[in-house]
Amino acid sequence: MGRTAPTYRQALEERLKRWDEFARLLTTPEDRAAFDLVRTAARRYVAQATYVGSPDLLESILLSVLTDLAGKLASSPAARGSSR
Amino acid sequence: MGGPSPPHDGWLLDITESSDGRSVVLWVKERQSGRVRRTAVEFRPPFFVTGPRAELSALAGRLRGLPVVASVELGSGRLSLFDARPRPQLSVVPAENPGRRALARTIDALGRYEAFTLYDVDLSPPQLYHLAHDLYPFAPVTGKGAELRATEPAETIDYAMPPLSVARFEIALKGERRGRLPPPDGRIGSVRVGDLTVEGEDEASVLRALVDELARSEPDVLLSRGGDAFDLPWLYRRALACGLTPKEFVLGREPAPFRAARPARSFESYGRVLYRSALYPLPGRFHIDRQNSFLFDDSELAGLVDAARLSRLSLQTVVRQSPGTCFTAMEMAEALRLGVRVPWKKNRPEEFRTGEELVAADRGGVIFLPPVGVHDRIDEFDFASLYPHIMVRKNLSAETLECRCCPKSPIRAPGLGYRSCTRRRGLIPRTLAPLLERRLAYKAALKQPGLPPARAEELSRRVKMLKWILVTAFGYQGYRNARFGRIECHEAINAYARELLAALLAEAERAGYRVVHGIVDSLWLRPIDPDRPPEPEEFARNASERFDLPLSYEGRYRWIVFLPAVTHGLGVPNRYYGLYEHGEYKLRGIGGRRHDTPGLLRRFELEVLDLFRRAPDAEGVRALLPRALARADLFAAKVRELSWPVDELVISHRLGQPPSAFVTFTDSVAALRQLHDAGAVRSAGEIVRFVLLDRKSRSFRDRVRAAELLDGSERYDADAYLELLAREAETLLAPLGVRRAELLERWGVAEPLPRAPYRSPERRAQRSLPGVPSG
């Protein structure tokens, strides 16, 4: 409906489409699976990124992916072992 | 609420335009006799023009003496909400009411579309008559003609419904079943009016008997299904064929022409192309077509009467228009009450902004992605009418935002800084506040013990209608054509709402909740410590107080399933189903909520929901999965043996474009071609319905069968429906690990083969419909 600027959600999907080109030249299944994780992570914090309303799309995507990664790290067995 | 209403002689049903072009007709239902009285009153309302004084006097000179102008008067006044002091104005009375718009267009052109601003042009004379005389549809009235007065104001909350006699109305063609395509010369065999059926061998005498029956039983409302698209045009067509004149064949309370007052049209709303049938008004009587009315389904007569009273729009307009039209009319009424006029075209461009500001400002509400899966012990909280409340509390209106008088206003939109006026109350808050009050009053009345069921029904219909109107009030702020809208208001409302939800999250955690999901004005929360859950009612009360907005506790879910997106597997904000502790389901975004779902899938969904009803918690739902799958297998087996009734397999598709615009051969195109061959034309926004017969076929004759042409003996495409069933099962059960591909394998459905090359005899012409007008 007649909005001027694309929503964060739209801008993100647009950017992810561009990233597909990157994924096409990934050669191992492990790399491709890892890339899929990044893509999912980028989509995870749409609400939070929209709330910030940063003009820098990449900042929002990075924050989203980093938060997701940090969360996974913190809950991984290695991290739990070292904190003990 | 309560108190006796003053004595009245009758009810004003409607005001219509008279055919002489110089007066309006008042239709009053007398209290004693129950008869409806028609009185014509001379009424030619002016419209107004503002602009530079010199140009206005030049314009006045040119208009005087024109035959289409009755009078012109130069004066001054504050016509716009934005006017700080009086400006020169011209009041123009057209010679005939129907010439109003044409004259206004001429004036606009004379000012080269920039010199003049016009007001009140598209308010109809009946609407203006209501407003000028403090009248409204269904008002209890005393007096006669020009002296007609309402005995209570339109805003009265506890009023009596006027006694309207309602009659079901339906025609039947000789030898035809309804829903099938009628032959172009199909004769009318009978007409149902209320409990009576008028029938006979001779068509002309059936039509005459119908007119007599209407005159005898005097219904105020004719209630039809599809009357705008079928019954009325067909009646007029046959009346013409039988040689009856509009003077003889009267379905209203005075003669009306046999043609549509407004043609059918396709239009776009919220990204969807919709279709509205033509309008055949029956003066002095209302025709409600349930199929051509968005509001009727939810609000019934009780809600519509309420909307007509408040908007001063005729019931026949309210019933066919969107809630947004009602809201706009309410704004107009409020504007006129404030002594200003209604601008014809919106003339307020958006302020200039940088790209960065735009990105920051143009954001919607907070919408989380819910965690996919089955969850239990979830409490749901909603803000009731959040956006309207924000508009009222923060005084958000086009003319009160960034006003000149309050540069130091403390009311500022969070993050955006837009100021609200502190000195005068805006038009939108003025319009909304009574609606909010009204809704609360109805809701409170609904809770009274010992309420008669009929009254409860009436009240809950009015509550629903108000809900719709309040919802559109927000959307219209951002709509480019909204008369009193302003995009910055839209942004400010969102900014306040986002801030509110963020603050509420922190509040919920402090109270002992973990946030599971949130959409704009609703929250789904789970106790952090399951053994010591927070008291939900208390949380709602405290939050309502703290934020000065009504947060209500919707209930606790025994369990709720948040569904994933097919594309990326993350949760979808508005797709879930859950069972409240009080035993009711809440369903969003699944098949049964949509009108176009085939009966087969709807039935399957019902079975699954019925089964899951016994699950006390998330674990219980998971334990029932094998039984749900067994049901799916049963359905599949029955579909496979081709014994499913075809009318439960009808797929509906709303045309997003005119039939001639399709370039690929789809199921819908196949159905459209069949209908076209049978003489039926569809327009964009209309719905085409069909059953899949052979989805691999390249011939439009074999691929589907249009629903209107079904005879019940068709052999449907089992694989196609198994695939739909598998998709439906996956939609509902994906969080429990059900995959479509596995189901299809289990049911032995082969992967669809690559399409065979074109072989059908019609192959040249069947991809599109070149000969079909686009409507």
Residue type for position B119: Y
Distance in Å, alpha carbon of B271 to nearest chain A alpha carbon: 6
B47-122 — its CATH code? 3.30.70
Most A CBs within 10 Å, among B270, B273, B363, B372, to test the A interface: B363
- For chain A, what percentages of helix, strand and coil (3-state, to nearest 5) are there? 80, 0, 20
Alpha-helical runs (H) found in B613-660 = 618-623, 625-640
Q: Please state which of the ranges B312-321, B338-347, B550-559, B622-631 shows the lowest mean pLDDT.
A: B338-347
* Whether the predicted pLDDT of B358 surpasses 80: no
* Angle, alpha carbons B118-B122-B125 (nearest 5°): 115
HSE value, Cβ hemisphere, 13 Å, CA-based, for A75: 5
The interface predicted TM-score of the complex, written ipTM, equals 0.77
Specify whether the CB–CB gap between B565 and A13 falls below 8 A.
no
Q: Is the dihedral of CA B740, B742, B748, B750 positive or negative?
A: positive
Which two structure tokens, joined as six digits, stand for B251?
A: 């379905």
Tell me if residue B119 falls in helix, strand or coil.
strand
Q: Which CATH number fits domain B166-321: 3.30.420.10, 3.40.50.1970, 3.30.70.100, 3.40.30.10?
A: 3.30.420.10
Residue type for position B257: P
Residue type for position B286: F
Angle between helices B232-241 and B203-217 (to 10 degrees): 130
Summarize the confidence of residues B243-267 as an average pLDDT.
89
Chain A residues within an 8 Å CB radius of B502: 51
Cα–Cα distances in angstroms (integers) from residue B509 to residues A68, B506, B545, B559, in the given order: 21, 5, 17, 21
Specify whether the CB–CB gap between B267 and B651 falls below 8 A.
no
- Is B364 within 8 Å of A7 when comparing Cβ atoms? yes
Report, at the CATH architecture level, how domain B361-580 is classified: Alpha-Beta Complex (3.90)
CB atoms within 10 A of CB B333: 22
Q: How far apart are CA A9 and CA A27, in angstroms?
A: 29
Q: What are the extents of the domains in chain B? A: 1-44+137-156, 47-122, 166-321, 361-580, 594-775
Element (H, E) at B117: strand B117-119
Specify whether the CB–CB gap between B489 and B348 falls below 8 A.
no
Choose among B366, B478, B480: nearest Cβ to A47: B366
Band of residue B220 on the pLDDT scale cut at 50, 70, 90: very high
User: Looking at residue B762, what is its pLDDT?
Assistant: 53
Choose among A3, A47, A54: nearest Cβ to B362: A3
pLDDT digits (tens, 9 = 90+) for B79-125: 888 888 899 999 999 999 999 999 999 999 999 988 999 999 989 99
- Is B359 within 8 Å of A51 when comparing Cβ atoms? no
Most B CBs within 10 Å, among A13, A40, A50, to test the B interface: A50
Closest CA to B249 of B262, B231, B236: B236
Q: How far apart are CA B115 and CA B103, in angstroms?
A: 16
Choose among A5, A46, A50: nearest Cβ to B358: A5
Q: How far apart are CA B55 and CA A32, in angstroms?
A: 71
Q: Return residues 14-53 of A near B (CB < 8 Å).
A: 39-40, 43-44, 46-47, 50-51, 53
* Residue A82 or B545, more confident: B545
- Is B368 within 8 Å of A47 when comparing Cβ atoms? yes
Place of tokens 């995870």: A44
CATH class of B594-775: mainly alpha
- Is A5 within 8 Å of B518 when comparing Cβ atoms? no
pLDDT digits (tens, 9 = 90+) for B673-722: 999 888 888 888 888 999 999 988 888 999 999 998 888 788 999 999 99
Residue type for position B284: G
Q: Is the dihedral of CA B583, B588, B589, B591 positive or negative?
A: positive
**Residue B268: closest C-alpha in chain A:** A1
pTM confidence score: 0.85
